[in-house]
Amino acid sequence: MSAEKQLSFEVVREGTSETIDVLVKRLVVAGWTGRDQAAVRHHIEELAERGVKAPGTTPVFYRVSAARLTRAEIIDVPGQGNSGEVEFVLFQHDGELYVSVGSDHTENDVEAYGVTVAKQMCEKPVATRAWPFTEVAPHWDQIHLRAWVIENGERTLYQQGQVSAMLDPAALLDGLAEVEEAFCDGTLMYNGTFDVIGPLRFARRLEVEMIDPVLERSITHGYNIEILPLRG
């Protein structure tokens, strides 16, 4: 049996809130999810120059242990060859689809060896709040994502963009169903991100945000990164 993770989410629905307890049995990290497939191919070619093997298809759906999901204020990482990135997160519970925000923290230095291994090496922070997807579906492409890094005590914008830059959720869920079991209760999926502002880099803290400008609300999450000593 695969690892499982119990998470509670505060669901904000039509101005009210309730808490749901979600047992995540399957964690998926979708990659190469850009709607502009020409740009995706260009980025794949750039990474190939770093020794990162091109995926067989795009998008690609990496499997990660659900035990890697975390709400911890601090995550431990081996060295400084890793970084986080803002992503919208989908999960299903009691037949209903929800959306939240998280960070696909990844060991970048290991990607040339294997992207699945690199993604498995770091914990995956996810926010405590979520929205029913039906509430954002009519204006989905207007949803914004942002990430900040804290460097030398300064908060610096690291990523920003609208989810319209990525495949819409229906296409992503259909794509997952084509390669393995369909999206269902107990599945949680990260869904791709934007280019960073400046160089890809390690930081001691990352803060992520998902903004709904139509319903005038947001979901935020942040965490600190602690470096483990490397001793051979």
pLDDT digits (tens, 9 = 90+) for 207-227: 999 999 999 999 999 999 999
For the domain made up of 5-227, give the CATH fold. Answer: Fumarylacetoacetate hydrolase; domain 2 (3.90.850)
| Distances, alpha carbon 226 to alpha carbons 20, 81, 207, in Å | 30, 12, 15
- % of the chain residues with pLDDT over 70: 100
Q: Taking Cα atoms as reference points, which of 91, 72, 101 lies closest to residue 225?
A: 72
Q: Sign (positive/negative) of CA torsion 120, 34, 138, 216?
A: positive
Mean pLDDT of 166-191: 96
Mean pLDDT of 63-82: 96
Does a cis peptide bond (omega within 30 degrees of 0) precede residue 213? no
pLDDT in tens, 30-55: 999 999 877 788 778 877 777 778 78
* Res 1 pLDDT > 70: no
Mean pLDDT of 176-195: 95
Q: What is the pTM of this model?
A: 0.94
Quickly tell me which residue has 């039509």 as its tokens: 14
Taking the domains of the chain in order of start, what are their residue ranges?
A: 5-227
Tokens, residue 170: 């229906």
